[in-house]
Structure 1
């Protein structure tokens, strides 16, 4: 059995550019007083989040990554993939929990289902094929 490639969903890279601009823009303020130096941490944390956060999907399951941790969810625990009213993707689990999938939009659900190796027609809540 061959393993499918991992499909990765990440936040838009413009966030990284905004973090760099925020860091450079906060330098004059942070350099005026020593107690203002922690202001530089805000754009730094945003940059780390932009690199780290996201959702990975392969034929074994989902890996939901955040700033400080990650969660592995096998496909057997996923009852449904759906989009919330704001267009963000959520995975409804067999135990009733809902997990928001970072960087995955409702329009990305067909790609997410394809990564599972399941036919799109058998996936409830995945929406119409594009």
Structure 2
């Protein structure tokens, strides 16, 4: 049985709209001949990625989803959450590895921590 996440963080919905517009724009090209039909796969893949990619927050773990596959990170393995240069949040794990949390930004990080019932500590 699948559990429902406490919070789903996704990239902006504008990506979904852009993928739909790109798909509609490639339909005439694909209609020009059967050899152009594979062009439809690019905006379709972009749509699936925009729909699926993100971070699901559970009480005991984070699940980072990509176009294909996902990575499960238990909360106790996360040593630190910090922003990168683009404002996206990355999780530094206890083994030194780093995982970028898709869709999580500085603006929505407090909601992610609250949903996962994690305390915010500010080292001095």
Shared topology, TM-score over 0.5?
yes
Gaps of 5+ in 1: 125-130
Give the distance between the partners of 1:85 and 1:55, measured in 2 at CA.
19
Q: State the alpha-carbon separation in 2 of the partners of residues 73 and 90 from structure 1.
A: 12
Aligned to 1:24: 24
Q: Does the CA contact (< 8 Å) of 2:9 and 2:55 recur in 1?
A: yes
Q: Distance in 1 between matches of 2:52 and 2:118?
A: 27
Post-superposition offset of 1:119: 2.5
Residue 80 (structure 1) aligned with residue 80 (structure 2) = yes
Report the Cα offset of residue 118 of structure 1.
Answer: 2.5
List, as ranges, runs of 4+ consecutive aligned residues in structure 1 with deviation greater than 4 Å.
none
Instruction: State whether residues 30 and 38 of structure 2, in contact with CA within 8 Å, keep that contact through their aligned partners in structure 1.
Output: yes
- For structure 2, the 5+ residue unaligned runs are none
Change (3 A) 1:123 1:78: farther
1:10-89 paired onto structure 2 within 5 Å: 10-89=10-89
Structure 2 Cα separation of the partners of residues 25 and 59 of structure 1:
42
Residue of structure 2 equivalent to 1:92: 92
> CA offset at residue 41 of structure 1?
0.5
1:107 is matched with 107
* DSSP-derived class of the 1:42 partner: helix
64 and 24 in structure 1: CA distance in 2 versus 1, 3 angstrom threshold: same
Is residue 113–residue 123 contact of structure 1 (8 Å, CA) maintained in 2? no
Alpha-carbon contact 1:19-1:43 (below 8 Å) kept: yes
Contact 1:26-1:40 at 8 Å conserved across structures: yes
